[in-house]
Structure 1
Amino acid sequence: MVSADYETILVDHRKGVATITLNRPPVNALTPRVLEDILSALDDLEKRAETRCVVLTGSGTKAFCAGADLKAVGDGVGTGTQFRDLGRAVVDRLETFPKPIISALRGWCIGGGFAIGMACDVRLASTTAVFRTGDAYLGVIPSWGMSLTRLTHFIGRNRALDLLILGEDLNAEAALGVGLVTRVVPDESFETEVAQVADRVATGSPITFRAIKETIRAQYAFSPAAAQALETHWAEIGGASEDLKEGIAAFREKRAPVFRGR
């Protein structure tokens, strides 16, 4: 089932998986409207109980997202606060969204596209994917809270500096080697692999996934002590949950669990 309630994206529902598709071919360039649509869709999907996993992808095969639409945002790419604030809001929302988010990355993944793709929890790359963090060669300061803030926590100081200072294109295998992506999939089987991974994730415990996302983020956003406090908080919630009882019963009965998030 496809929703047509948004101007620049498509939202498709299949079982427990919802797919957000950036729909501005050929390269799915970002504008304030696109970012607003993503935020709106995430708000809707958080409330939708049937949605257990979200896939973020781009239309076509040329690009997941080639960054900002320079014609649409003009000088705002480097100096405007609206575009920056919306970009930061999307990165933050993807990272703190209570359900797992998978980015499905084909073709170019550049600039703002790189930021939102890396903010997702699992990052699947087609063999056609190409990554670039070449802001220094455009005179742009990356300011969406990814390249200058999160990236060093994600892949380490030296690798982050290599990417940002050299600004060279990375193919999918090189991106896997530095820890940017989860796995690389042949393009001819990419959609099938994305669907299989998303279907599996959609069967996991919503309580456990929320605990994982919040506690892992707290390691760098706050402190190890804050992360440990969250771990204890979620362990107490999980320990009293119906989902834990269901998981144990399903294991004993050698069947797939049916989690309800409570």
Structure 2
Amino acid sequence: MKIVPRISTRGYYDLGTGKTLKTNKYYLYPKKDFKKFVNSKEITIMIHGLRNDNAGAIAKVVLARNRLKKLGYPYPVIGFSYDSNTTGAHLKKYAKRSLGVGLIIAKKNGKHLGKFIEEFKMLSPKTKIRLMGHSLGSQVILSTVEYLSKKKKNKSIIDSVYFFGASITEDVPSSKKYGKLLDIVVDKKIINHFAPTDEVLKWADGKRYVRGPLGLNGASGRPIKKYHQKLVKPKNHRFASYAQVLASFP
């Protein structure tokens, strides 16, 4: 099987508590592939959701790459792999706790992905960077945006963002706090694929584990102008199902 290039922070956080174990920025695998991406016209980074170990993270990149290839996208698709396989995530009785830990880890990973984007853009300033996030991956993207927006020079550093089954809350695109932060994404380029039929988000909303997930009914309030949403009908919450209903890219 072909090696899937990825930015990784695996082993940086405790899977039971979310406690920081390592303070490294990130590591690249395989390093030589990333040298090839310098001066590429663009790259897309796929960020997986909860309950994905390293193999799961790789599988999501392969799904994204294959789908984008079918849609005529010729540029590199790489992965961002983080500690989302939190303890007990597969058991309903620990679901709330493991989601809470996953959320802590996803938020902390914003600075890691943010640092990679800053450093890659220094090497390759003209490369467009697109981010795709599934489920909890939407929180990693939001925290990345939060990290990057602290510096004025990062305005428009991300070319576009694509959410699938997003677990961040529905008020984010219209909130004063995040609306301003999302300014670092190039104009009209935040696209949320939402599905009122998504059984996992429906369950999380019903249990009040996630109140009003953005991926369930779309945005509430008056979202910022660069935000757009598409109603989709995936078979289920899995990224494979969302990839199947993705109709165009970028």
Please state which band the TM-score falls in when normalised by the shorter chain: 0.3 to 0.5
TM-score normalised over the length of structure 2: 0.36
More helix by share: 1
Greater RCO, 1 or 2 (C-alpha within 8 Å, sep 6+) = 2
TM-score normalised over the length of structure 1: 0.35
